[in-house]
């Protein structure tokens, strides 16, 4: 299959480059074995960019990111750059990318691999086969609303203020992302807010219903107050497929869902923005974990979160669900075979390096295809 689709790889620093090396091998495997041909470019972000250019991301890299189908990022940050001014720390590179690409929809899947059910904080039968997706609004809501600040009211009394604000276009665009995802998955969306006590929640619910009725009547929509959603996530998580919610509730619900699956080293994510004139949706894929400076350079990091982020890019930016399934299945089988990096190590399993885990996933891809 000929394709002019494009992928920008930004390994970053810390364990980012080690994990990304394993992804590059899978990208090559896909090219050889599945005729998946992208224009693949690689560049610097975070500490790697600071070391080369003195800043955490260059205009040139931002420009590249604006003009590809997907960006795949490793991780950034670490003590080496701790004494730098806040404005040029590694993390600012990632923040600039998120801001300039206006990535308003944060996708956090919680997938429980059968071999890891024991790593979950819940009973195996509650999480076995779990595969849910939380869509968190990322650029609005109480983290950005005005007015904000801390006021002195006199007499030793102070008042802290943050404001929950959403406009209708902000709600519509994130709702559309959730409904489109549901169409590629089970066809079910739960929208979560606190319409019982917050006007912004009432607006959220009304506007999600409008988008549903006018554009996605084929999707099944239901509503759940956010406190109940938190409770249901730990009571019976498999009742959900796609959950769409605001920035604050999404922050909490996605961390809660993350713990259903066990390790940080296993969790991918995506952040999506608008569709451009060429029909490309702005998209950044990255593991949930950071640069893990404590284990960087030791060939012990778990590369699976980054590998699964690449699988998400195949599924959601390149419309290649079969290839995404193949990678997820290969990971599943390797874990079932007893191979573990240190972070997901359990009794009776074989502790392996980053590279050996990558080797095993490639061998499994060979077997599966």
From residue 253 to residue 272, what is the string marking binding to ligand NAI with x (rule CB under 6 A)? -----------xx-------
Q: Which of 18, 137, 251, 364 binds Mg ion (CB under 5 A)?
A: 251
Of 255, 276, 319, 366, catalytic: 255
Residues across the chain: 369
Q: Is 91 in the site for ligand NAI (CB under 6 A)?
A: yes
Would you call 229 exposed, middle or buried from its count of C-beta atoms within 10 A (0-12, 13-18, 19+)?
buried
Q: Which of 51, 218, 255, 319 binds Mg ion (CB under 5 A)?
A: 255
Q: Name every residue whose Cβ is closer than 8 Å to that of residue 328 and which is 6 or more positions away in sequence.
A: 111, 308, 311
Q: Is 301 in the site for ligand NAI (CB under 6 A)?
A: yes
Q: Is 246 in the site for Mg ion (CB under 5 A)?
A: no
DSSP states of 233-259 as a string? HHH-GGG-SEEEE-HHHHHHHHHHHHT
Q: Is 296 annotated as a binding residue?
A: yes
* Residue 262 contact among ligand NAI, Mg ion, none, beta carbon within 5 to 8 Å by kind: none
Q: Is 290 in the site for ligand NAI (CB under 6 A)?
A: yes
Q: Is 89 annotated as a binding residue?
A: yes
> In the complex, what is the shortest distance from the CB of residue 273 to ligand NAI, in angstroms, rounded to a whole number?
17
143 catalytically annotated: yes
251 catalytically annotated: yes
Contact 136, 104 (CB under 8 A): no
Tokens of 161: 């203020």
Phi first, then psi, for residue 115 (nearest 5°) are -65, -15
43 versus 251: smaller Cβ distance to Mg ion:
251
* Cα separation, 116 vs 107, whole angstroms: 22
Tokens of 290: 């950071």
Alpha carbon distance, N-terminus to C-terminus of the chain: 17
Residue 105: its H or E element: strand 105-111
Piece of 212-220, 253-261, 310-318, 336-344 that binds Mg ion (CB under 5 A): 253-261
Q: Is 304 annotated as a binding residue?
A: no
* Cα separation, 193 vs 200, whole angstroms: 9
Residues within window 49-88 making contact with ligand NAI, judged by CB under 6 A:
75-78
Q: Is 301 annotated as a binding residue?
A: yes
Would you call 209 exposed, middle or buried from its count of C-beta atoms within 10 A (0-12, 13-18, 19+)?
middle
Question: Which residues of 138-178 form beta strands (DSSP E)?
Answer: 149-154, 157-161
165 versus 264: smaller Cβ distance to ligand NAI:
264
With CB under 6 A, what is the number of residues at the site for ligand NAI? 22
Q: Which of 6, 106, 245, 302 binds ligand NAI (CB under 6 A)?
A: 302
255 catalytically annotated: yes
274 catalytically annotated: no
98 versus 315: smaller Cβ distance to Mg ion:
98
**Beta strands 149-154 and 105-111: pairing type?**
unpaired
* Residue 293 contact among ligand NAI, Mg ion, none, beta carbon within 5 to 8 Å by kind: ligand NAI
* Cα separation, 355 vs 361, whole angstroms: 10
* Cα separation, 333 vs 310, whole angstroms: 18
Q: Is 11 annotated as a binding residue?
A: no
Reading phi first (left if > 0) and then psi (alpha if -120 to 50, else beta), residue 7 is in beta
> In the complex, what is the shortest distance from the CB of residue 50 to Mg ion, in angstroms, rounded to a whole number?
25
Catalytic residues, by residue number, are: 143, 194, 227, 251, 255
**Residues in touch with ligand NAI (CB under 6 A):** 15, 75-78, 91, 94, 264-265, 286, 289-295, 301-302, 305, 341, 343
**Residues in touch with Mg ion (CB under 5 A):** 251, 255
Q: Which residues are annotated as a binding site?
A: 78-91, 98, 108, 136, 227, 251, 255, 290-302
Q: Which residues are annotated as a binding site for Mg(2+)?
A: 227, 251, 255
Q: Which residues are annotated as a binding site for NAD(+)?
A: 78-91, 290-302
């Amino acid at each position: 299959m000929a394709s002019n689709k494009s992928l920008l790889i930004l390994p970053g620093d810390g364990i980012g480059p080690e994990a990304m090396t394993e992804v590059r091998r899978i990208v090559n495997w896909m090219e050889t074995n599945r005729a998946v041909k992208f224009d693949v470019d690689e560049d610097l972000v975070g500490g790697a960019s600071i070391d080369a250019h003195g800043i955490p991301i260059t205009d040139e890299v931002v420009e590249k990111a604006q003009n590809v189908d997907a960006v795949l990022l490793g991780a950034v940050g670490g003590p080496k750059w701790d004494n730098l001014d806040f404005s040029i720390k590694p993390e600012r590179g990632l923040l600039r990318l998120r801001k300039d690409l206006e990535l308003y929809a944060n996708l956090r899947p919680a997938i429980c691999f059968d071999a890891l059910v024991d790593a979950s904080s819940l009973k195996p039968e509650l999480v076995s086969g779990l595969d849910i997706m939380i869509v968190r609004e990322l650029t609005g809501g109480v983290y950005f609303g005005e007015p904000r600040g801390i006021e002195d009211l006199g007499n030793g009394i102070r008042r802290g203020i943050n404001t929950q604000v959403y406009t209708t276009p902000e709600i519509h665009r994130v709702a559309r992302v959730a409904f489109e995802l549901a169409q590629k998955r089970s066809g079910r969306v739960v929208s979560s807010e606190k319409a019982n006590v917050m006007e912004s929640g009432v607006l959220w619910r009304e506007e999600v219903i409008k988008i549903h009725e006018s554009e996605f009547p084929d999707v099944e929509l239901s509503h759940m107050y956010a406190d109940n959603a938190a409770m249901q996530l730990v009571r019976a998580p498999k009742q959900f497929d796609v959950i769409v919610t605001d920035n604050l509730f999404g922050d909490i619900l996605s961390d809660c869902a993350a713990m259903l699956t066990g390790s940080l080293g296993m969790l991918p994510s995506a952040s999506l923005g608008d569709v451009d004139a060429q029909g490309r949706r702005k998209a950044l894929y990255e593991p949930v974990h950071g640069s893990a400076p404590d284990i960087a350079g030791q060939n012990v990091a778990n590369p699976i979160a980054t590998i699964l982020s690449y699988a998400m890019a195949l599924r959601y930016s390149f419309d290649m669900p079969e290839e995404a399934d193949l990678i997820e299945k290969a990971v599943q089988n390797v874990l079932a075979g007893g191979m573990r990096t240190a972070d997901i190590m359990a009794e009776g399993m074989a502790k392996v390096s980053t590279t050996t885990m990558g080797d095993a996933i490639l061998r499994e891809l060979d077997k599966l295809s």
